[in-house]
Structure 1
């Protein structure tokens, strides 16, 4: 099982480059950065994680700028979005950003994606909340066309463009892996339909053994090899027994959440996680 770390990069937390270098030196496989372009002041959409939206959601930096800084000081650690709100981004420009990061990192990008939960944030970008999942699929397919074709075109309900020539192409042939976030069964179904893996959030009231068994059965029924759809657990708990449960269930990767705190608070947590996991 592989281990990664996730943080809301802010102007008061450890720098992404510093964290990436420290995590790589300690043997972590991946670094994951989330995003929110903004938080609408109305605060009408409830946060799925609880009553009070944490400050870091308001303050988080752009993930691609942050990951580019991390790429410049590392050589092996995977550079990942966890998650990228593709529905709020232009797919042609996002395809270029992702491909550029994949090139400068020598093929270390994993694109974790999700449709998000904040209706007002999406609507400020012109995104229809009720159709966000179909929009997400079309934007992913459009980017994959750009990454793999010299003259790419896409004609969908929400994304539509005639042949375009866009470079660079990603270092990874076909483009970076697409890891689809979301709960079960919806997130799992979307991962099976057009992803290269599934990333649910831990602690949302689901049984890992039963859920993964159902997910793998759904994949097989859709003619997808379950081994081609690795499962990553997001915001994994720092508990030995729970970690062992995930390992026994065949989870491919655990991603531990870190606080948006300074170096002297975050680095000891990394050391603690190394001892806890034993890698």
Structure 2
């Protein structure tokens, strides 16, 4: 099992370059940057984490900028969006961002995506809440066409363009892994339909039940469950839980770090490094 770390990068957090170097030095496999373009003051949909929305959601930097900085400071560390809100982004420009970052990092990008929860935020982008999942799927399908074909076109209900040319193409073939975030069963179904893996959030549902059902659903859909690795976000600093994740066949456990400076974060990473070494 691999280990990653996620942080809402802000102007008061550790920098992406500093965190990237610290993670690579301590044996972590990946760094993850979440995304919110902004947070409206109105709230039609509650935060899935419960309670008041933490300040870091209002303050986070663009994930592609942050991951580029981390890429330049490291050599092996993988770089993931955790998650990119595809239904709030133009698919043609996002396809270029993904391919460019994959090129700059020599094929280290992991494209974590989600449909989002903040209705007010996505409506500011012109996205209808009720059709956000279909819009996300069409934009991913369109991006796959752009990444894999010299003359790409796509015609859907929400995404529509005639034959066009766009470079660069990603280093990873056919494209960087598309890891679909979301709760069971909706997020699991989306991962099986058009993803290369699933990102559940540990603690929000019994993981063992969800993974058993996910693998059964994948097999029923004609997909090899082994081709859809699990990236579990929200891993606790607990040896028994880490071993439980491993026994459940989780491919990657990701710890969520607060948006703090080095003096707060490095001791946490040192403790995690010990857990990683212990296996």
Paired residue secondary structure (1:74): coil
- What is the rounded CA distance, in whole Å, between the counterparts of 1:169 and 1:260 in structure 2? 33
The SS at the match of 1:79 is strand
Q: How does 1:149-228 map to 2 (within 5 A)?
A: 149-204=149-204, 206-228=205-227
Task: Kindly report which structure 2 residues correspond to 1:115-154, keeping only aligned pairs within 5 A, or say none.
Answer: 115-154=115-154
Matched residue, 2:92? 92
Counterpart in the other structure of 2:256: 257
TM-score by length of 2: 0.98
| Number of positions where the alignment pairs a residue of Structure 1 with one of Structure 2 | 278
Q: Secondary structure at the match of 2:49?
A: coil
Partner Cα separation in structure 2 for residue 62 and residue 209 of structure 1: 33
Report deviation, 1:95. 0.2
2:242 paired residue number: 243
Equivalent residue of 1:236, what SS? coil
State the distance in 2 between where 1:173 and 1:44 align. Answer: 40
* In structure 2, C-alpha distance between the alignment counterparts of 1:224 and 1:79, rounded to whole Å: 26
Residue 268 of structure 1: aligned partner: 267
Task: Name the CA distance, whole Å, in 2 between partners of 1:166 and 1:207.
Answer: 43
Cα offsets for 1:27-47 (capped at 9, x unmatched): 100000000000001133211
What SS does the aligned partner of 2:234 have? strand
Partner in structure 1 of residue 110 of structure 2: 110
Alignment-derived partner of residue 38 in structure 1: 38
In 2, the alpha carbon distance for the partners of 1:43 and 1:272 equals 37
CA distance in 2, matches of 1:171, 1:255: 24
C-alpha displacement of 1:270: 0.6
- Measured against aligned partners, the alpha-carbon deviations of 1:17-61 in whole angstroms (never above 9, x if no partner) come to 110011011110000000000000113321110110000000000
Mapped partners of 2:236, 2:87: distance in 1: 29
Give the whole-Å Cα distance in 2 for the aligned partners of 1:116 and 1:267: 30
- Residues 54-100 of structure 1: per-residue CA shift (max 9 Å, x gap): 00000000000010111111110100000000000000000000100
Gaps of 5+ in 2: none
State the partner residue of 2:60: 60
Give distance in 1, aligned partners of 2:66 and 2:212.
Answer: 36
**Cα RMSD after superposing both structures:** 0.8
Corresponding position of 2:15: 15
Instruction: Note the C-alpha offset of 1:264.
Output: 1.1
* Partner of residue 29, structure 1: 29
1:49 aligns with 2:49: yes
SS in 1 for 2:36: coil
Where does structure 1 differ by over 6 angstroms across 4 or more consecutive aligned residues?
Answer: none
